[in-house]
Amino acid sequence: MTLRTILIHPDPRLKKVAAPVAEVTDDLRRLADDMLETMYDAPGIGLAAPQLGLSHRLIVMDCAKKEEDTPRPLALFNPEVIWSSEDRNVYEEGCLSIPEQYADVERPAEVRVRWLTPEGKTEEEHFSGLWATCVQHEIDHLNGKLFIDYLKPLKRQLITRKMEKLKREMARA
């Protein structure tokens, strides 16, 4: 497995709508493994292919982050929210493409999601709690949307300027 480089906001590749996966190939299964490895290494609880500059509708996640929890790596191809609760929930979100910035985001508290597994089978699951927030955040990435897009313009601009500065510093290092 290979660790991949995660793009930092702002980057036009993070704003693109990703292409559906027509067939889960060996290459895409390998990519999903690399993404999980990269996510655990970061460390993070979710990662979407556009964050590596790749236009595929593929996300990985594992929200079992407490030490006593059993790891549950998931790779979801073409994930789709097929039902959302009217109940809403606020979580302080972060993003591996926006390091060290966190903000409250309100989303449906529970969602039902359908996707293709790495084996090419259709699966459906009802997510709640952190899993629900995470899967919605990652599916947003496939539609070119970041969690800061939910914030007020001023707060979003402040974070974007911090990221531009961070990228300049990283380029110099």
Distance, CA of 103 to CA of 101 (rounded, Å): 7
Active-site hit among 106, 138, 164, 169: 138
Q: Which lies closer to Ni ion via its Cβ, residue 86 or residue 142? A: 142
Q: From 28, 27, 50, 55, select the one nearest 146 (Cα to Cα).
A: 50
Q: Are 129 and 143 in contact (CB under 8 A)?
A: no
Cα distance between residue 141 and residue 123, in whole Å: 20
d(Cα 126, Cα 113) in Å, to the nearest integer?
6
In the bound state with Ni ion, the residue whose beta carbon lies nearer, of 74 and 95, is 95
Please identify, using beta-carbon distances, which residue of 104 and 124 lies nearer to Ni ion. 104
Q: Which is nearer to Ni ion, 124 or 149 (CB)?
A: 149
Interface positions with Ni ion (CB under 5 A)? 95
What is the smallest separation between the CB atom of 144 and Ni ion, expressed in angstroms? 12
In the complex, the smallest distance separating the C-beta of residue 154 from Ni ion, rounded to whole angstroms, is 21
Q: Six-digit token pair at 118? A: 């790495």
Q: Peptide bond before 73: cis, by omega within 30 degrees of 0?
A: no
The nearest distance, CB 118 to Ni ion, in angstroms, is: 21
169 is catalytic: no
Q: Reduced to 3 states, what is the DSSP secondary structure of residue 108?
A: strand
128: which strand partners? 110
Q: Is 111 exposed, middle or buried (0-12, 13-18, 19+ CB in 10 A)?
A: buried
Tell me which residue has its CB nearest to Ni ion: 95
Shortest distance (Å) from residue 87 CB to Ni ion: 23
Catalytic sites, residue numbers? 138
